[in-house]
């Protein structure tokens, strides 16, 4: 799966990494209604760091479609509430 982090670039995620990221996404969806900005930022940054460190960076010369577009790292909890609903960013069973 190809994931784009807004304003940063694209990453190719393995199935195992996708499972980990999806679990983190599910937790954010579960707690987004009652989480503050600081706690949200910490949890979201953990997810982005995992993608950056464990994902394979897609080269700038490679043109591939993104399956998921992640909000930028500086998104607030209030702004994120519209993204982290239902099945979250990663609608995977």
Chain segment 19-73, per-residue pLDDT in tens: 999 999 988 888 887 888 888 889 999 999 999 999 999 998 999 999 999 999 9
Q: Rounded distance, CA 68 to CA 48, Å?
A: 13
Residue span of the structural domain in which 74 resides? 2-80
Residue 59 DSSP symbol: P
Give the C-alpha distances (Å, rounded to integers) separating 88 from 33, 49, 60: 13, 18, 27
Q: Does a structural domain hold residue 85?
A: no
* Structural contact between residues 21 and 90, judged by C-beta atoms closer than 8 angstroms: yes
Is 93 among the domain residues? no
Q: Structurally, how many domains does the chain consist of?
A: 1
- 8 pLDDT above the threshold of 90: yes
| pLDDT at residue 78, rounded to an integer | 87
Query: What's the pTM?
Result: 0.88
Q: Give the pLDDT confidence score for residue 15 in this predicted structure.
A: 96
């Amino acid at each position: 799966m190809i994931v784009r982090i807004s304003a940063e670039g694209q990453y190719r995620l393995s199935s195992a990494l996708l499972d980990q990221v999806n679990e983190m996404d599910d937790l954010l969806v579960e707690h987004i209604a009652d989480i503050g900005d600081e706690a949200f930022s910490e949890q979201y940054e953990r997810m982005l760091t995992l993608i950056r460190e464990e994902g394979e960076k897609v080269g700038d010369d490679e043109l591939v479609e993104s399956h998921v577009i992640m909000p930028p790292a500086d998104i607030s909890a209030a702004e994120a509430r519209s993204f982290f609903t239902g099945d979250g960013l990663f609608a995977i069973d």
